[in-house]
Structure 1
Amino acid sequence: MASVDTITNFLATLSVIVTLLAFHGRAQLSPTFYSSTCPNVQTIVRDAMEEAVEKEARMGASILRLFFHDCFVQGCDASILLDDTATFTGEKNAIPNKNSARGFEVIDAIKTKVEAACSNTVSCADILALAARDGVVLLGGPTWTVELGRRDSRTASLTAANTQIPFPSDNLSTLISLFAAKGLSARDMTALSGSHTIGQARCTNFRARIYNETNIDPNFAALRQANCPTSGGDNNLAPLDIQTPTQFDNAYYQNLVVRRGLLHSDQQLFNGGSQDALVKTYSGNSEAFSSDFTAAVVRMGSIDPLTGTAGEIRKNCRLVN
């Protein structure tokens, strides 16, 4: 019969193994992953993002959205960056991405500079994660430590992109479920939705709200209707945050409290439901929002990464090697 110490040691070892399996990829990410192999990568990415955001402030929001849409499909693996080919179907033509996902050329430019400095070393997935952080900071938002060591996927999923990325028309219960499926809490969801304090949306994604919904400020609805007719003008743009559209702050939540959320999914966070109190907190406390946002985005960036020998380091972010 095994001794008590032997059994205890076995159970302890088993517990460690189970824990490692449960966090298989997350435990392998590290902020110092490239410290010896590509020590200047963060400077290269930041400088390139500074150039891109200076040229077009909206690009900070676009890159952050790319990161979000990437992580929600197969994990943070740069699958969203892959182009369709005659033999490969990517995610760019999925409903949430077609005619709206943008910034691919910025990631291409960063990849070219990184490859020149340290070839075949830094993944497109890590470049996207760093660029998303830098875009937020350049627009006045908080910074966070980016965990690195992701590798790039050789696959993509059009089906998953169509079913797992939240839609602007989603109700609160659906939003909570979609985030929960990725290991993110309702609090994470509400904090991450604050990314809509920057960026713009197309008329086709908010038309139903400004014409048909009652939980909306009438003056705000009229303002948006002026540039979004009942038919036509689908690609006309409006800022997601009417107050400070290119400043990463907590004004998004202030808008929700006065019924000025642009998207149906935005206003669902403040509509007599479970997130109302948190929205009120964020609307009056920018530090609370920043703290929760950075913690949530780090968790999102750790969704099912490919690490070790899984996947590859793409030479071109648009194509598998």
Structure 2
Amino acid sequence: EGDGNYHLQRFLEQEGSEVSIQVLAATLLYNLWEFRHDTTARLELRGADQSKFGLAGSDAGLTLGGLYFAELALRLWWQSYAKVLGLSSYVLPDMDEVARAGHSHYNVELRGGEGHLEVAKLILNVIKQKAHMTVSVKPFGCMPSSGVSDGVQSVITELYPEAIFCPVETSGDGAVNFYSRVQMYLFKARQRAREEFEQVLADEGVTEAQLREFLASPAGKRFARTLRIPPHVSAGTTTDLVREIAPYAKAKGTLGRAKVQAAVSAKAAKKWVQKDGQRWLHFAKDMSPHLPALVRFVGGELAEQVEQKAPSVTKAWSRVFDRATKLSADEEAQVRAAEVASATAPAPTEKKKAQGLPVVA
């Protein structure tokens, strides 16, 4: 969004589109993935890697552990702020999955521009039905995108005919040609979205009037909130909303809607265990081998900081310990008296053993 891109987001929204823009956190995750990918590849060089980013003389486990921890912190920070802002349904991409999707068509070692991200995004947008249309906007003559990625995208659109890919350049000759090109692809996306919407109405056995009536009722108000996003199944948010509220609209009475809610909650819990929980488990499994190095580093740093920057704390604890163990004058006198008494006391005499009875043969 901005003058450089002719306010593309605003234009698409004025045309009735729902725009999903890559957030800055996704770029930061890509940078962390690059560093982790390169570090893992350099592990095979053992101690002979003397280059600028080499691992000779460094702790690779500490580096990888720090990268995993940074990714975990970034994801938790993002989800916390997203929940406060009402975007709790937004999920940051799995960069390992993105790399696997794009590597078969665009080598992940090519890092110009966005690297393999542009190709991988189009593939995942189609396979996972994340969007009806993918727009790639770039400056005029951008070699990594216009010269490389767009050429690969022609292969992707042949493999996935349902993909709608719109590459546009901001050449500076005016917004008319720019908007005109976007509108051509946007027309196809509108048709696709309309067909998808009509199909889900037929599949669920409801009409648009029924759904609007339900959303206007007290039972449907919670589904009509502006920032609420229905569970993702299809490319269109409206289609997902129809799929979500159709069972409630067809249910009879409060008891019927309660049964639907119970089934939905059970399905959501099962999905979390099978998908989201597995993803976090896989992340923890990858991170666990590098935790000891990270713990050693953090422990050493904390100990050093305590010794250098907080000597008064150590002295204070020493004074407390000395006061707790120091004897008073009366106690010292009692101890000395006991020692003198112990030194002057006569030595105990040994008792003679009693002789045994004579043995009678």
Q: Which structure ranks higher in relative contact order (CA pairs < 8 Å, sequence separation ≥ 6)?
A: 1
Give the TM-score of the pair, scaled to structure 2.
Answer: 0.22
Flag the structure with larger Rg: 2
Q: Going by fraction, where is helix more abundant, 1 or 2?
A: 2
Give the TM-score of the pair, scaled to structure 1.
Answer: 0.24
